[in-house]
């Protein structure tokens, strides 16, 4: 927090604009649209609300409104990023859609274009792609957009973690047909809550703004002709976001410094930092992560809620490192568990670059290992989850605190 946040919250309080109307909301919408480079932004209660209304909008555009309560996507498949938080995926189910998970690639840890192309071979009728940029790193945008264009599919771009990241000089959140960002309490711009829908279409922005305020019609009484939601951002939350926006570049610089310090401090260990396309991308480095080399992994077994490992000289695993970090009162986390591994979605289709991977993946879970083909794991998302972890990345962390974390990580490999 920098101080302006409290000032704008106080203004909302003093002027008694405490609800979902006010100057702060208007300013957030104007400034975020300008920052990202879209024509319009709609301030919402959460990033998930933005994804939900994007899914609803895409569904109605592609298939019509549908029956009340079933959603416009009822029974329709949607291609989704696999290694992401479930907020990327759940709104598809809200609208009756069926997520089909697309495997990850090693270069950026995002949706694999080759697997996406394979998915269109398996399901040529799909018309919607739900793409997330993991940990602030842009995916292979040009390739994915080319595939979408080839198959006449729309893209929902989940940029919740990647606000401020660029691909070939253009901000993430501005590449898809609909863009979504988050101001959750852990994001690079923190509103404690909140999100925004991004679009270049005035008509779409009006539709989402209407839906987010219970779809009230323009009448002097409360008139409703379609289903709406209580999804609008409050003027108080908007005050926090408004105070944060001018510091986006400063926050990105702090996050980059953290990433580079980890990279230097762990450089001689058998690990790699989360990668990005250095030629085309500038990530916001929202979270610094590492991936342990296969030969340096000690034995580790994960159940649904617990994990066990066997310490081994010169080797480590995510469970050991996370426990060591926790022992000095700091917090790391596992990599997002891929959606196709989640109990709620385990029976949904999952596509690798070789084809439909659902049956093989279920077998891997039972066997506790990742099969390989031509030296590479068939299920790349599972491999990254097994070997990867997220490091403490708070931009308030001091260099001395980070050095202590690095020291603790190094000791795990001794």
Positions marked catalytic: 187
Residue 229, classed as helix, strand or coil, is: coil
Helix extents (H) in 184-313? 202-212, 235-244, 248-265
Could you please report the per-residue DSSP string of 90-142? HHHHHTT-EEEEE-B-TTTSSB-HHHHHHHHHH-TT--EEEEE-GGG----HH
- Can you read off the two tokens belonging to residue 100? 């089909």
- Can you read off the two tokens belonging to residue 144? 């994915």
Which residue bears the tokens 């070997």?
A: 387
The alpha carbon of residue 171 and the mean position of all alpha carbons in its chain are separated, in whole angstroms, by 15
Residues 6+ apart with CB under 8 A from 48: 87, 90, 91, 182, 195
The alpha carbon of residue 313 and the mean position of all alpha carbons in its chain are separated, in whole angstroms, by 35
Planar angle of CA 198, 203, 78, nearest 5 degrees: 60
Give the number of other Cβ atoms within 10 Å of residue 414's Cβ: 7
Buried b (16+ CB within 10 A) or exposed e, 186-205: ebbbbbebbbbbbbeeeebb
Do residues 100 and 77 touch, judged by C-beta distance below 8 A?
A: yes
Which residue bears the tokens 């709609």?
A: 42
Task: Classify burial at 163, counting beta carbons within 10 Å of its beta carbon; exposed 0-12, middle 13-18, buried 19 or more.
Answer: buried
Do residues 55 and 130 touch, judged by C-beta distance below 8 A?
A: yes
As a whole number of angstroms, the distance between CA 178 and CA 172 comes to 11
Tallying the residues shown for the chain, one arrives at 414
Helix extents (H) in 129-201? 141-150
Which residue bears the tokens 């979902």?
A: 20
As a whole number of angstroms, the distance between CA 370 and CA 358 comes to 13
Task: Give, for 196, the enclosing helix (H) or strand (E).
Answer: strand 195-199
């Amino acid at each position: 927090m920098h101080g302006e946040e409290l000032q704008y919250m106080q203004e909302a309080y003093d002027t008694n604009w405490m609800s979902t109307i006010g100057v702060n909301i208007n300013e957030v919408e104007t400034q975020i649209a300008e920052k990202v480079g879209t024509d319009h932004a709609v301030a919402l209660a959460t990033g998930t609300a933005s994804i939900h209304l994007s899914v609803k909008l895409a569904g109605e555009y592609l298939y019509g409104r549908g029956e009340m309560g079933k959603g416009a996507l009822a029974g329709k498949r949607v291609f989704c990023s696999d290694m992401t938080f479930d907020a990327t995926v759940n709104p598809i189910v809200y609208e009756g859609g069926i997520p089909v998970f697309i495997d990850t690639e090693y270069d950026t840890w995002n949706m694999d274009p080759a697997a996406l192309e394979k998915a269109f071979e398996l399901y040529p009728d799909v018309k919607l792609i739900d793409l997330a940029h993991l940990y602030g790193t842009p995916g292979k945008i040009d390739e994915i957009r080319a595939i979408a264009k080839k198959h006449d599919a729309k893209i929902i771009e989940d940029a919740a973690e990647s606000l401020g990241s660029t691909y070939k000089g253009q901000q993430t959140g501005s590449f898809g047909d609909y863009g979504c960002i988050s101001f959750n309490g852990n994001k690079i711009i923190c509103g404690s809550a909140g999100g925004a829908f991004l679009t270049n279409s005035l008509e779409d922005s009006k539709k989402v703004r209407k839906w987010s305020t219970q779809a009230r019609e323009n009448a002097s009484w409360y008139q409703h002709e379609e289903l709406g939601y209580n999804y609008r951002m409050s003027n108080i939350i908007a005050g926090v976001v408004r105070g944060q926006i001018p510091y986006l570049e400063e926050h990105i610089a702090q996050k980059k410094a953290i990433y580079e310090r980890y990279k230097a401090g762990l450089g001689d260990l058998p690990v790699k930092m989360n990668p990005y396309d250095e030629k085309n991308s500038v990530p916001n480095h929202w979270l610094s992560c590492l991936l342990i080399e296969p030969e340096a992994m000690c034995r580790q077994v994960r159940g649904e809620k617990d994990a066990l490992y066997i310490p081994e000289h010169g080797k480590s695993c995510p469970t050991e490192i996370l426990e060591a970090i926790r022992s000095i009162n700091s917090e790391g986390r596992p990599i997002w568990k891929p959606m196709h591994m989640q109990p709620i979605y385990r029976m949904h289709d999952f596509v690798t670059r070789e084809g439909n991977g659902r049956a093989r993946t279920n077998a891997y879970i039972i066997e506790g290992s990742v099969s390989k083909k031509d030296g590479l794991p068939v299920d790349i998302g599972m491999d990254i989850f097994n070997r990867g972890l997220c490091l403490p990345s708070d931009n308030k962390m001091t260099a001395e605190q980070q050095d202590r974390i690095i020291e603790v990580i190094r000791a795990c490999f001794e």
